[in-house]
Amino acid sequence: MNVKNKSLTRQLAWRLIGLQAVIMLGLIIVLTYTINSLNVSYIDENVLHMMVSDVRIDDAGKLAFRNDAKLQSLLQTSPGLWFVMEDEKGHRLTHGEVPEVYRSLADALPQLQNSEVHASSPPYALTMRIYTDSTPLGRVHVICGGIPTTNAGPLFAVLAGYLGWRMTLPFALVTLIVVPWLIRRAMRGVAEVAGQAQAIDIGEPGARLADHAVPRELQPLVQAFNAALERLNEGYAARDRFLAGAAHELRAPIAILEARIETLEAGATRARLLADVARLSNLAEQLLDLQRLGKHESKLEPLDLVTLSSEVTADVAPLAVDAGYELALDAPDSPVMVMGDPLSLSRVLTNLIQNAIAHGGGRGLITVDVHPDGTFGVSDQGPGIPVDERHRIFEPFYRLRPSSTGAGLGLHLVQEIVALHGGRIDIVEADGGGAWFRVRLLAIPASAAVSGVGGAVGLRI
C-alpha cells in the first residue's frame, strides 16, 4: 500500500499558525484578567448591536424599535439606560437622560466613530460607548451609557472579536507565504545531496554525500548514509577478495586434474571428464573476470578482431569437436580494428562459443563471424532462444533450462564486458534456426591496423 508522505512545509506552517493562535488566546486571557482585575467598566457591544439592528422608521417618519422581546426586556430592567441614536438622514431616537458631559458629543454624533470611555470606580456613571453600524436604513450611529458591566465573559468576547481577526489572520497569511519560502531556502542543500545520492554508482568505491550542504539537524542522517556506503564498500571489497582468492586457488587443482585426464585413453569417459574440467576452469576464469570487472582493471587499446577471433576459435576448437560440432570462422581478409581489452574480448568470444556448445543441440555448425564495421558474433543451429526469454538470459545465475550445465555467469559477464567497451549485444535468430549472439563495437580506421596482421576466411575445423 502506497502511503503519501506529508509535506514538512505544510506541517510546519500549520503548526506555527496553531502556535500563534494559542499565543493570541493566551494574550486575550491575560488582557481580560488584567482589565477585569482593575474593576474597569465598559458597555457591552452586543447590547448596542442589538439596538441598532432592531431600529426602524415608523409611520411618523421617526426612528423606533420593533417589538423585540430582548430589547424591551433590556429597557425595562435597566432604568439608568440612556442613548441617542441617529441615522444618516438626521432621524433621531433618544432614551433616558444624557449626562451633561456627553451632550455635546450627542449633538455631533454623525461625525464620531467608534470609541469608548471606561470608568474605574462605582457607580461607573461616566462609562460610555459610541457605536456605528450599517443597517437597511443606512449608517446608524449610537451613543449609549447607564448600563456599565465588569463581567469577564463579555470582556473576553469583545477582546477576542477585536484582536482575533485583526492579528491572527494576518499572522496566518504571512506564515503560509513566508514559512514555505524560508524552508525551501534552508533545504536547498537537501536537493543537492539528493542529486548526489541519485548519481551514486554502487560499484564505484569512495562515493560519499556532502554533509556540509544540509542543515545541521540533517547532518546525522547524511553521515549515517555515508557510513552505510562505507560498510557496503567494505562488503564488496571482501567479496572481491574472496572471488579472486577462490579462483586462484581453483586454478592449480584444475590444471593438475586436466593433465591427469589427458593421460587417459581416448573415449567417451575421457571426453566427458575433459568437458567437466573445462567447465570448472571456465567457472574459475569467470570468477576472476567478475573481480576484474568490479575493479575496472581493463585497459582499452587498438586490437584486431580478426586475429583475436582466429586465436580464440583455434583454442576452443577441440572442445567443439569433442562435443560433436563443426566450428567455422567467417572473417574478412583485412584487419578489423576496434578499441578494446584483448583479454576481456577473448573472454566474450570464448563464453559465446561455450554457450553455443552447451545449448546448440550437440550437433551442427557453430559459426564465429566478424564484420568490417566492428560487429562480431557467434551463431549455432540449435533450438534457439524464445523471444520472451532473451532479455533474461543475461541475468547472473539465470539459466534458460534448469537441467543445463554451467553456473549462469557467462552471458552476464559478456554483457558487462561489452557495456564497458561502449558496445551492445543483441540476440537474433540465426539462418539455421538457432541463436545468433551479435556484438556491436565501434570500429576505428584501418590505418591503425598493425602491419602484417591478416585474417582467415571460411576457416572450418
Confidence grade of residue 38 (pLDDT, cut at 50, 70, 90): low
Q: The whole model's pTM is what?
A: 0.46
In the predicted structure, residue 454 carries a pLDDT above the cut 50: no
In the predicted structure, residue 130 carries a pLDDT above the cut 90: yes
Task: Say which amino acid occupies 248.
Answer: H
Confidence grade of residue 406 (pLDDT, cut at 50, 70, 90): low
Higher pLDDT, 265 or 399: 265
Name which of 230, 43, 41, 246 is nearest 142 in CA terms.
43
Percent of the chain predicted with pLDDT > 90:
18
In the predicted structure, residue 347 carries a pLDDT above the cut 90: no
Mean pLDDT of 187-205: 74
Task: State the pLDDT at residue 308.
Answer: 94
Percent of the chain predicted with pLDDT > 70:
84
Task: State the pLDDT at residue 376.
Answer: 94
Name which of 185, 134, 159, 161 is nearest 9 in CA terms.
185
How distant, in Å, are the alpha carbons of 5, 7, 58, 428 from that of 2? 9, 15, 68, 40
First to last CA, the chain: 60
Task: State the pLDDT at residue 305.
Answer: 93
Confidence grade of residue 438 (pLDDT, cut at 50, 70, 90): very high
C-alpha 420: how far from chain center: 29
- Give the cell for residue 41: 467598566
Fold of 40-149: Beta-Lactamase (3.30.450)
Are the CB atoms for 361 and 382 separated by under 8 Å?
Answer: yes
In the predicted structure, residue 403 carries a pLDDT above the cut 50: no
Q: Number of C-alpha atoms within 13 angstroms, CB side, residue 30?
A: 6
Q: How long is the chain? A: 461
Task: State the pLDDT at residue 379.
Answer: 92
Mean pLDDT of 411-423: 85
Mean pLDDT of 275-292: 70
Are the CB atoms for 436 and 359 separated by under 8 Å?
Answer: no
Q: Which CATH architecture has domain 300-460?
A: 2-Layer Sandwich (3.30)
Which of 43-52, 139-148, 175-184, 404-413 is the least confident region?
Answer: 404-413
Mean pLDDT of 264-277: 78
Helix, strand, or coil (residue 391): coil
- Using CA atoms, how far apart are residues 57 and 406, in angstroms rounded to an integer? 106
In the predicted structure, residue 451 carries a pLDDT above the cut 80: no
Q: Pick left, alpha or beta for residue 5 (phi over 0 → left; psi -120 to 50 → alpha; otherwise beta).
A: beta
Higher pLDDT, 459 or 180: 180
Q: Number of C-alpha atoms within 13 angstroms, CB side, residue 130?
A: 17
In the predicted structure, residue 449 carries a pLDDT above the cut 50: no
Average pLDDT, whole number, for the chain? 80
